[in-house]
Structure 1
Amino acid sequence: MTTERQRGSATLWVVGCIALLLVVAEVATVRAAAVVARHRAESAADLAALAAAGRIGVDDQSCTAAGHVATANGARLRTCTVHLAGDGRSGTVLARVVLHVHLPIAGSRDVVASARAGRLPG
């Protein structure tokens, strides 16, 4: 037997649970978007560093190649540092890229990632 005081209380519980589920879903969506943005930035940095390392010993356009690859991946090359070995045909590259993303609720953010790649002698 229900009394007048209890009438409609289940509706309030259902609305409250649905609201809680919506908040949890939104937080999960923002978190997933942030993780995807980080992975995209890391991939762009990896590919830019590999492109630059591929130019070591060929010409002095390593950082130009890194910039083109970063741009092709939707990022911007922030820094590119080439360390050549004594022979000039091997060395390492440190590439740092910036990816501008728009996250739900959090707004626009810059995601920075860096990668190192090298070319071995031989």
Structure 2
Amino acid sequence: MTRRPGRGADRSGADGGSATLWVVACIALLLLVTEVAVVRAAAVVARHRAESGADLAALAAAGRIGVGGDACAAAARVAAANGVRLQACAVRLAADGRSGSVRTRVTLRVHLPVVGARQVVAGARAGRLPA
């Protein structure tokens, strides 16, 4: 029995090794997607750290309204303790001097993989009501 060319187990044509190329391409795509996910996750974590630092600094400053002392100095201490830098602090006192609101703005310097060093900025507002 004679075998016809192009049929059966004797296929040594142009398709030889093409599966290897597909596997390599899929692995490269998977690595790229993983890297993008890691960079995105690191950016989200940095944003959350900056936002929580701004929130806590604003709360610390609002706690000093009507009690005495510098509200913005308290905000700067709490911001530094949370790894962020206080960029701006504005206190607005009510007419009674015992209540008001505080706005803070903080910055956080982060190093993201592939992207490099970036600065994250977050702001918060907190208030104190009269007792």
| Residues 8-47 of structure 1: pairs in structure 2 closer than 5 A | 8-47=17-56
Equivalent in the alignment of 2:77:
68
CA deviations over 1:56-88 (Å, ceiling 9, x no partner) = 011131000000110011100000000000010
Question: C-alpha separation between the residues in 1 aligned to 2:42 and 2:67?
Answer: 39
| SS across alignment from 2:67 | coil
For residue 27 of structure 2, what is the amino acid of its counterpart? I
Give the alignment's TM-score, normalised by structure 2: 0.91
Query: How far did residue 5 of structure 1 move?
Result: 1.6
Structure 1, unpaired ranges of 5+: none
TM-score by length of 1: 0.97
Aligned to 1:101, what secondary structure does the other structure show? Answer: strand
For 2:14 and 2:42, how far apart are their aligned partners in 1? 44
> Which whole-Å CA distance do the structure 2 matches of 1:11 and 1:48 have between them?
56
- Secondary structure, counterpart of 2:53 in structure 1: helix
Cα deviation per residue 1:10-39 (whole Å; 9 max; x = unaligned)? 000000000000000000110011011000
SS of alignment partner, residue 16 of structure 2: coil
Determine the C-alpha separation between the residues in 1 that align with 2:68 and 2:27: 61
**Which one-letter code corresponds to 1:64 in the other structure?**
A
Runs of 4+ in 1 over 4 A off after TM superposition: none
Which of 117, 120, 124 pairs up with 1:111?
120
Between the two proteins, the alignment pairs up a number of residues equal to 122
Larger-Rg structure: 2
Separation in 1, partners of 2:85, 2:22 = 49
Paired with 2:69 and 2:87, the residues of 1 have a C-alpha distance of 18
Note the C-alpha offset of 1:9.
0.7
> How far does residue 99 in structure 1 lie from its aligned partner after superposition?
0.5
What residue ranges of structure 2 are gaps of 5+ in the alignment? 1-8
Name the residue aligned to 1:93: 102
